[in-house]
Amino acid sequence: MHNSRFQVYYTFKPIFMLAEPLMLASAFFMFFVACVAYIHIDLSIRK
């Protein structure tokens, strides 16, 4: 069948390995900050 061997060459920058976890952590952090700001903000009209 398909027994031919092949080899793939590519260049990979190691900084891209950190990009996805950093985006995920920053998204959780921004969600946490938004929740804290929403809890602390006073949305009532009368004081």
Q: How confident is the model at residue 10 (pLDDT cuts 50, 70, 90)?
A: confident
Q: How confident is the model at residue 46 (pLDDT cuts 50, 70, 90)?
A: low
Q: How confident is the model at residue 17 (pLDDT cuts 50, 70, 90)?
A: confident
* Dihedral angle computed from the Cα positions of residues 22, 25, 31 and 36, in that order, rounded to the nearest 10 degrees: -120
Tokens representing residue 32 in the block: 């946490």
Residue 30's H or E segment, with its range, is helix 15-40
Span 19-45, average pLDDT: 89
Q: Measured between alpha carbons, how far is 10 from 19 in angstroms, rounded to an integer?
A: 19
Q: Measured between alpha carbons, how far is 47 from 16 in angstroms, rounded to an integer?
A: 50
Contacts of 42 (CB under 8 A, 6+ apart): none
How large a percentage of the chain has pLDDT more than 90?
38
